[in-house]
Chain A
Amino acid sequence: MSAVATNLWTIPLFVIIPIITAILLNLLYNKSRTIKVIAIASSIVLFVLALISPYGFQWFTGQPGVTPGGTYTFDASIFSYRLSLEYYFGGLQQILITIMSLLLVFVVFLSASSLRKNIGPYIALIFLLFMSSAIIIMVNDFYHLWIGVEMGSLLLAGVVAASGESISQKAALKYTFFSALSGAGMAIALAMILGVTGYSNITNAIQYIMSDNLSSLSGVLYIAFGFFVLSWIYAGGLAPIHPLKSDVYGSAFPHATVMLQTQSKLMIVAMGLIILRLFGTLPFAREVMLSVSVLTMIMGVTMALIQTDLRWTLAYLVVAHSGLVTLGISLGTVQGITGGLFQAVNDIVYMSVLLICCEAVMYFGKGTSIKTVGGIAKRAPWLALAVVIGAFAASGVPPFNGFQSEIILIQASLSSGLPEVAAIVLMVSVTTFIALFKPIYNIFLKPDNSPIAMEGDAGAGIATMAMVQPTSPVPKSIYLFLAILIAIIIVLGVYPQLALGFVQDTAIKVVYFPWVP
């Protein structure tokens, strides 16, 4: 067996570069041009690093592993108890961090271009949001996972509260309050796991649980499982607390929601996989996770149906589609986990398309409600095309990426003997389509009947309409970002193997070798 590197050079950079960038941006505060240059350069570096990084471990602080014989090793392929804090970068981490860093480039560019006033601290928080998400998806340590989740919750609150509007501040405060409770719950869960095993390293804890007879401590494991699931629900905004997260998504700037929903997906994936690896063999564990997932999907799409504002429709759909991700993980089979992870990748991409389109609608100055804005397709036809493609992908229409992951989820549900779950996945797809096309029709396709538009129409002859009609105020950069994301949607829809190759390895490990990160 060849030695597996424990000092992979790229891993620390995913944490340190955002930290240093955030500190600089916070200090620069209102120097917009310098902030823009540093932030964009830094995000591009992170994207390139994610793209080219080899796979391996980073044992922070360079402490070795202790073998059962008492000797020390720096080889991750040799069984040892880790003295160091351990991160792992593999296929799953690569695809998720690459997509997240690509989105970071877009979000940084959009926020630096579209926001006024003192943007330093805001963009600093976005970088730290990236950092906390990267930590959560790479870490193989309970305690550090907890810190990543805690920091992520705090950052989320900051990004949402940054607009200073009462609705966003209220949503941020409410979420912070409840996430503090879930953080405490997670700390209790970790204390119990640490008490039972003596290891905060996840690999070592799982090995201990699998090798020792812990039947007398099963109560402790069940309580730890309960608190862990509770944190998972809060961190991911799953049912029954989904309104908290939807409030957060709906009240942040749409470009910020791109990062927030990405962070949520990474959290539910990372925590879901850990729950499965650690507690997957406990009776009822998967059933509990499955119930939460199904409830999240149903509640999310139902709430999305009754919204009259594109921002809020998307806020609830993000939650509903998180349920699709957790559903796959909860099935606990290789096919199910593969589908769940692939769904996470796809979901991040097509939701980002829809959210960026939503932000573009705001440039027309009338908000995003179906009651106030209309006729956008006439002024921005490419934007209309982008939103329709995003909606098709979210609804699982072929040949877009959402179709490929949803079909895997349906097949996995049927293979697990759960046709009713497969039917719910199908229902979520159809309902997503209906929920999205109501605002899309009203905002993009229906003529603008607002008093200002009517006045303009009455005053101009049909022959001169083309001349007086204002051009789209949407920056060209938004079209570029949308084009890139739509290209990803189509490529993954036509060649799903491109992404499946990254996530299948993780699914196999979770099912057959749960101690391997």
Chain B
Amino acid sequence: MEMKELRGSRGVLAAVALLIIFIGVTVAFVQLNGNVARGISPEYNRLAHLQQPNSLSAWVYDWRGFDTLIETGVIYVGAVVSVLVIGRGLVRMKQVEGEEPVPQTSLDLKIGSVNAILKYFIFPLVILLAAYGILIVTGAATSGGGGFQCGVVVASAYLIGAVFFGKKNPLNFRRKFLIAIGSFGWALYALLGLPGYLVTGYWQYNVGTDLWSSIAGFPAQIPSILHTIFGDPYRLALVLKGGTFYSTAGIVPLINIGEAFNVIGAICLIFLVFIYGWSDTEEAKA
């Protein structure tokens, strides 16, 4: 839609509609002020420290962990669709002559115009950003970080590298590599639900943390081998006012790693194909 289409009666209608929505939403939020129900959140907060110091991570990757799996899928799908629009995986019907897809060309990125001195500053920045991303994901259970944050930080490093160094990017990711790590990340996240499913029937039950198997009605006991594999490597001692508590985030740190791979693969791939386009011929040669 072009802006000129909004002139005249259409524009007036759009403005009136927006005004009505604005007033409605404002009135609703004013009514909500002071009346927000806490609902289930106190229960989540009460339980979070039994798992890990980073309550947000507990919420996102455990209580709502399956929700986040599908949300992560949105990023993966976003990458597949974006790359498809550019040219990867366009299909034709065998018997039908149709319009040929418009060939996609790469952006006119003139890295020669970037000041040479600036490049020397950018190089360590790219490396530091990538390292910072790794730091975030490895400390996700104890800090405010997580897989998604790692992914976007590394992707930012990649984009900066692409803008300043072009194809000589210090993070020289190739298309196939990015597709592979994105796929690996989402698959890892999805399959981390398997141990809990096989033992308890609940997909993505956190067998490492295992908060609920002692509650009446829970369908199974978790074998100790699963505690050893998924729980012990991430065990922490939390020194709180009430005493020292031992907790483990269980499969959450691994989920964070899967999430990080997925986000790095997906976002970098989107950057890469939007800058350089997609050519199956080039890809085959590579």
Listed in ascending order, the chain A residues whose CB lies under 8 Å from chain B are 3, 6-9, 11-12, 15-16, 19-20, 23, 26-27, 29, 58-64, 66, 72-75, 81-85, 111, 114-122, 124-125, 128, 135, 141, 143-144, 147-148, 150-151, 154-155, 157-158, 161-167, 169, 172, 177, 188, 192, 194-201, 204, 208, 216-217, 219-220, 223-224, 226, 253, 362-363, 365, 367, 473
Contacts and interface: CB of A to CB of B under 8 A. Distances in A.
Q: Which applies to chain A's interface (DSSP): helix, strand, loop or mixed?
A: helix
B45 to A, nearest CB: 12
A114 B94 contact: yes
A27 B41 contact: no
B99 A166 contact: yes
Nearest to B30: A219
A338 to B, nearest CB: 30
Interface in B43-76: 43-44, 47, 62-67, 70-71, 73-74
Contact of A114 (B47, B67, B95, B102): B95
B202 A216 contact: no
Given A198-B41, A473-B95, A16 B193 contact: yes
18 contacts: A27-B183, A59-B202, A60-B65, A60-B204, A83-B44, A83-B63, A115-B92, A115-B94, A116-B93, A121-B83, A128-B73, A151-B74, A155-B81, A177-B1, A197-B37, A198-B38, A217-B35, A362-B96
A184 B89 CA distance: 29
Given A122-B91, A125-B80, 13 more contacts: A19-B186, A20-B191, A58-B202, A62-B200, A81-B43, A115-B93, A119-B91, A121-B89, A147-B71, A154-B78, A154-B81, A157-B81, A195-B32
A43 B24 CA distance: 45
B280 interface: yes
A381 to B, nearest CB: 20
Contacts of A365: 95-97
Nearest to B213: A62
Contact of A164 (B31, B32, B41, B90): B90
A23 B186 CA distance: 8
A128 B71 CA distance: 13
A157 B205 CA distance: 33
B36 interface: yes
B70 A61 contact: no
B114 interface: no
B132 interface: no
B203 interface: yes
Contacts of A6: 202
Contacts of B100: 164
B80 A124 contact: yes
B19 interface: no
Given A115-B91, A164-B90, A188 B202 contact: no
A83 B77 contact: no
B217 A199 contact: no
B200 A195 contact: no
B101 interface: yes
A213 to B, nearest CB: 12
A128 B75 CA distance: 13
A61 B201 contact: no
Contact of A117 (B73, B78, B90, B212): B90
B109 interface: no
B27 A29 contact: no
B153 to A, nearest CB: 23
B16 interface: no
A23 B64 CA distance: 23
Contacts of B201: 7-9
Contacts of B65: 60-61
B180 interface: yes
A350 B28 CA distance: 43
Nearest 4 Cβ contacts at the A-B interface: A198-B39, A164-B101, A62-B202, A7-B201
A61 B208 CA distance: 12
Given A61-B66, A208-B39, A114 B93 contact: yes
A451 to B, nearest CB: 17
